[in-house]
Structure 1
Amino acid sequence: MAREIAVFIGGNGSTAALEEPGKVVVYRRQQGKWQQVGETAFCLNHTSGMAGVRRQLAAMIEVLGQCRVFVARAVSGLLYKELEQADFSIWEFSGRPTDFLEYVLVQEELAARQPAPAAAPAPAIVETGPGCYQVSLKDVQQSGGGLTSKQVLQPLLSGNFYQVEVLCSHIPPWLETEWACGRFDCKAEKQVNGVKLVIKKQSCG
């Protein structure tokens, strides 16, 4: 396994959200130490729409070569989907690279040695009305492997919807981040065996 990890870093030297201006720095572990082996500036320009974003990401991925581990403070929506489709292992950390590089490498190497866990079946997404959906993440969250809550919800939240009702064991941390950033209007209701989330946006489209 190649011991290279790409980290998206902001102006303060700590990880940044991929939507923010920053630079992608590639680190390689050599002789027991992490060395910086590459760096490229990256600042998304949304003026060309989704096609333009895909082109910018494709150019960044080409620069990364064989490196397929990517760390940022936050990766969401189309950005997450494109990196995932390019076979990246995506990590979200806040802090400086020295805080987490060794941890990420160890976890990646452990995962490479383990047989793939049995994935929970994809949960049914029920359309309850025009632009309104309901889905349960409980089986996905309790399985501990394979399919993730992000893989289930991101395609839905990136598309046209008015309201998504989510039943879950706990609120996924990545969704809490998007909620805190004001990307969605969310309401959480604690229930006996979990949480019911109601996610809204003003209109479809």
Structure 2
Amino acid sequence: MARDIAVFIGDKGSTASLEEPGKVVIYRRQQGKWRLADSLPFQLDRTSGMAGVRRQLADIIQWLGQCRVFVAQTVVGLLYKELEQNGFSIWEFSGRPADFLEYILVQEELAARESETGKPTVPAIVETGPGCFRVSLKDIQQNGSGLTSKQVLQPLLMGNYYQVEVLCSHIPPWLEAEWESGRLDCKSERLDNGVKLVIRKQRCG
């Protein structure tokens, strides 16, 4: 498999949100070391609306060529959807690329091998009452199934729900960012074997 990973980096050399100014850097693993293969400045411009954002992302995707692994501090909404629809494996990490590039490569290779033997099992979403759901992310977090927590949860959180109870080994970084920003109403409880996170629908007004 290709050993290229694209990382969106801010002015301090660490990952940044795609909403911030920065640059997309392609790292390539050669002879056991990660090297900078190419970079491109990027600053999201929303003045032209969704169509303009899509054009900007289309330019980035074309520039990335065969690279289909993308890392940023956070990737949400339309940005996530466009990358996902173009076949990207999307990762969210805070920190410098040297801290996570090798980990992502290993997980991508494990997922690629599993996809050759069969499709990953999608966690069951159980409806526990009207608008109330429960789902466990532990298997996909622990086994590197090729599915991401965002792929499982985002369709549910974009739909009609009152409460979602999530069992996980750890709170996914993207979900923690949504919580800290106030976009999600969450409560967490530490369990012996992980974390229980309760997400409630934000009230309007």
Quote the Cα distance in structure 2 between the aligned partners of 1:192 and 1:27.
38
Aligned length in residues: 197
Question: What residue is the counterpart of 1:177 in the other structure?
Answer: 177
Alignment of 1:200 with 2:201, yes or no, is yes
In 2: Cα distance, 1:147 partner to 1:101 partner = 18
Partner SS state of residue 45, structure 1: coil
> What is the one-letter code of the residue matched to 1:67?
C
Shift of 1:45: 1.9
Root-mean-square deviation (CA, aligned residues, Å) is 3.0
- Match runs of 1:75-94 below 5 Å: 75-94=75-94
**Structure 1 residues without counterparts, runs of 5 or longer:** none
The answer for the alignment partner of 1:135 in structure 2 is: 133
Shift of 1:117: 5.0
Compute the TM-score of the two structures, normalised by the length of structure 2: 0.79
Q: Deviations over 1:165-187 (max 9, x none)?
A: 10221374221221012223334
The offset of 1:25, in angstroms, is 0.4
* CA deviations over 1:20-42 (Å, ceiling 9, x no partner): 21110011122332221211111
Contact 2:9 2:22 in 1 (8 A): yes
Q: Cα distance 1:121–1:44, how it changes in 2: closer, same or farther (>3 A)?
A: same
Deviation at 1:11, TM superposition (A): 0.3
Alignment of 1:104-183 (within 5 A): 104-114=104-114, 115-120=117-122, 123=125, 128=130, 133-138=131-136, 140-142=137-139, 144=143, 145=145, 147-158=147-158, 164-170=162-168, 172-173=171-172, 174-183=174-183
Contact 1:141 1:148 in 2 (8 A): no
- CA distance in structure 2 between the aligned counterparts of 1:201 and 1:152, rounded to whole angstroms: 20
